[in-house]
């Protein structure tokens, strides 16, 4: 084998030693061949320097207290959730007026533990494997005032938390709080009692906002007073409110928010995912235990 003779004035590409080149990376000054050249603002850079620059740029971007990206519009997820709730409500009413029956959709998608289907010898509910009820029920409302109350609370709480946590973390907080509300209903409420509404998720936002205000050392009295009023309403007799879902969402929301805002800066995202995963794991364990007890 004959040794390659390099032409005068050329160097070997640091990634492909068998190739001659006269081009150098403008950042690290290592020789690079045409396959390794990536256009830069000035000259060319090697793939390693491009990756390093991208990582440094991402790290330098301003972040929220929980590590999320700062956004100019902090209402995107909040408005989307409100829109989904409104669309489902319209769908329920349309089904009722078109003859499908509102009760039919509630029977099929509202939270129910384990009971006989109305007018049927069939057993239905989460304990029969209909786990989707735990999430679909959180987007269903029967009464206009129930929908209006929850959407007003979501609009009041959502943008502030979305700005502080970031879109992805805020959405995770909302959905896991909703699941926690359904789990609490499954574990503590009568198994033949239908439960629906975004209240569990909304109370999760209340808990999260309280944790966030404490972390930032802001005045907590307004949100605590509002939370206390809502808790009092929850336990008023005759209103038929699923207090189990409210408390379940409140506890889960506070726990998730605490993990998010107190996560160490290093490996913060991994820590936050772990906290959310742990809460979900607890919810799954409760549901499995309750299902085994019922069946």
Buried b or exposed e, range 26-38, using 16+ CB within 10 angstroms: ebeebbbbeebbe
For residues 45 and 26, the answer to whether their CB atoms sit within 8 Å is yes
146 catalytic? Reply is no
Alpha carbon dihedral 281, 285, 291, 293, in 10-degree steps, equals: -170
Helix (H, G, I), strand (E, B) or coil at 268: helix
Q: Provide the b/e sequence for 268-279 (b: ≥16 CB within 10 Å).
A: eeebbeebbeeb
**CB neighbour list of residue 77: distance below 8 Å, 6 or more residues apart:** 158, 162, 167, 170, 171, 174
Angstrom distance (rounded) from CA 282 to CA 236? 29
Q: Which of 11, 177, 185, 246 is catalytic?
A: 246
CA–CA distance, 253 with 132 (Å, rounded to integer): 20
In contact, 180 and 284? CB cutoff 8 Å: no
Residue 254, CA distances (Å) to 64, 115, 176, 177, 228 in order: 18, 32, 11, 9, 15
* Active site annotation includes 199: yes
Class of residue 173 by CB neighbours under 10 A (exposed 0-12, middle 13-18, buried 19+): buried
Find all residues with CB under 8 Å of 69, minimum gap 6, and list them.
61, 63, 166, 167
Pairwise CA distance, residues 104 & 68, whole Å: 41
Contact of 144 with 189, CB cutoff 8 Å = no
Catalytic residue among 11, 120, 199, 262: 199
Catalytic residue set? 199, 246
């Amino acid at each position: 084998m004959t040794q390659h003779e390099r032409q005068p004035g050329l160097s070997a590409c640091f990634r492909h030693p068998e190739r001659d080149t006269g081009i150098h990376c403008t950042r690290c000054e290592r020789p690079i061949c045409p396959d390794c050249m990536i256009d830069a603002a000035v000259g060319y850079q090697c793939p390693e320097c491009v990756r390093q620059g991208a990582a440094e740029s991402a790290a330098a971007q301003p972040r929220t207290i929980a590590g999320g990206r700062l956004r100019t519009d902090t209402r995107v997820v909040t408005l989307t959730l409100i829109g989904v709730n409104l669309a489902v409500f319209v769908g329920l009413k349309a089904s009722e007026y078109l003859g499908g029956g509102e009760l039919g959709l509630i029977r099929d998608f509202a939270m129910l533990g384990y009971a006989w289907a109305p007018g049927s010898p069939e057993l239905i509910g989460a304990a029969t494997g209909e786990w989707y009820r735990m999430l679909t029920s959180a987007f269903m409302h029967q009464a206009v005032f129930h929908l209006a109350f929850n959407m007003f609370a979501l609009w009041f709480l959502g943008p502030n938390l979305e700005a502080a946590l970031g879109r992805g973390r805020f959405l995770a907080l909302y959905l896991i709080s909703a699941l926690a509300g359904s789990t609490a209903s499954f574990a503590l409420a009568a198994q033949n009692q239908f439960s629906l509404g975004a209240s569990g998720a909304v109370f999760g936002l209340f808990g999260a906002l309280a944790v966030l205000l404490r972390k930032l050392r802001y005045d907590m009295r307004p949100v605590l007073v509002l939370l206390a009023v809502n808790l009092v309403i929850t336990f008023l007799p005759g209103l038929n409110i699923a207090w189990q879902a409210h408390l379940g969402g409140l506890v889960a929301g506070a726990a998730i928010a605490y993990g998010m805002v107190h996560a160490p800066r290093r490996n913060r995202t991994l820590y936050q995912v772990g906290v959310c995963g742990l809460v979900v794991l607890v919810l799954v364990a409760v549901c499995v235990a309750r299902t085994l007890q019922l069946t």
